[in-house]
Structure 1
């Protein structure tokens, strides 16, 4: 009986405690419902304190998702625009480089064409000089015991030709001042063009010592063969003081 009474008391106490706990819980609920601000400062935050997407109303969920998608689209658009700009800049750089290469090639070709035309013109001029020389060589000049400077120059105009005469004349002016019997006391060079030795002119005529025409023909032949023309020989003379 004693043991049975003890059990009964424990049961009653447990019931009382349970009842008190229930009342307290109900009171808390009532207090909250009535606007009571009494809170247990020691209470731990519960899962209800964390806001999840599922806790947001359906309309607001759509707005959040739309904003997120819009931000992603803007980011992708910026990246695509940056990539497109880089591609455009690279394409423009390559196009400019290609254009520069084409212009350089065209300029080099133009220079080469100009050089080729100049060479062709020069060759034609030399051929003309040689033709004139050959034609004049077949002509005869009256043999005289002596010749004036004017007579010698007239011979030279006919033999050398107008295109190269001035250059030929410049050389003769410096070499002998148109004296067909001029002798260099130091070297022994002889005649209008100061051939060294003077006997070289015998290849054109045995009268090389007394006939200006023979000296002129030999001088023209020498200038053509060694320099290309009297004007080329004169250019060399100006640079070196001799030819």
Structure 2
């Protein structure tokens, strides 16, 4: 269960979504020449195909939203996996398996346990993915350890 929702930070993220703050300000860390390793290009083992290109969400905003929901001590591992699985694209689809969304749920409708809006709502996808990592691997850190060994989770 998600217990780390931070209303103030969530309000700031909503401001980004609504255009009250420049979205590129959030993404400047990865654009810098000395960007941290987490900004590395995702694995070429996945490809994304937008399901609804008109419903494009700013990926930096989705990541910032996740930072308000995932506990700080787990976020680094959660971020590593999501960056490699979907590139923070809510509409990411694996053309080989049909896995969908931020956490690449397979089958995708499993996310329906967390909301009927699973296909387009990043909050629902983040909650489902975080809960999945905790149930299957004990935590996002356990999921990241598994991912490093197998390149899937």
Tell me which interval the TM-score lies in, with the shorter structure as reference length: 0.5 to 0.7
Larger Rg: 1
Residues 73-102 of structure 1 deviation map (CA, whole Å, 9 limit, x = unaligned): xxxxxxxxxxxxxxxxxxxxxxxxxxxxxx
Structure 2 residue ranges without an equivalent (≥5): 19-54
Aligned residue for 1:195, secondary structure, equals coil
Tell me what 1:191 maps to. Answer: 101
1:171 equivalent among 81, 105, 108: 81
Tell me what 1:241 maps to. Answer: 151
Distance 1:193 1:168 in 2: 9
Tell me what 1:231 maps to. Answer: 141
TM-score by length of 2: 0.66
TM-superposed CA distance for 1:161, in Å, is 1.8
2:121 equivalent among 198, 211, 215: 211
Distance 2:72 2:66 in 1: 9
TM-superposed CA distance for 1:238, in Å, is 0.4
TM-score by length of 1: 0.42
Which structure carries more helix by proportion? 1
Residues 173-216 of structure 1 deviation map (CA, whole Å, 9 limit, x = unaligned): 11011111000111110001100011110111111111111101
Tell me what 1:134 maps to. Answer: 3
Residues 130-155 of structure 1 deviation map (CA, whole Å, 9 limit, x = unaligned): 5xx23439989869854201110111
Q: Could you say if the C-alpha distance between residues 159 and 172 of structure 1 is closer, same or farther in structure 2, counting changes exceeding 3 Å?
A: same
Distance 2:109 2:6 in 1: 19
Distance 1:191 1:197 in 2: 11
Q: Are positions 1:148 and 2:58 aligned together?
A: yes
Distance 1:161 1:151 in 2: 17
Structure of higher RCO (CA pairs closer than 8 Å, 6+ residues apart): 2
Distance 1:208 1:220 in 2: 14
Distance 1:137 1:207 in 2: 22
Contact 1:183 1:190 in 2 (8 A): yes
Contact 2:4 2:71 in 1 (8 A): no
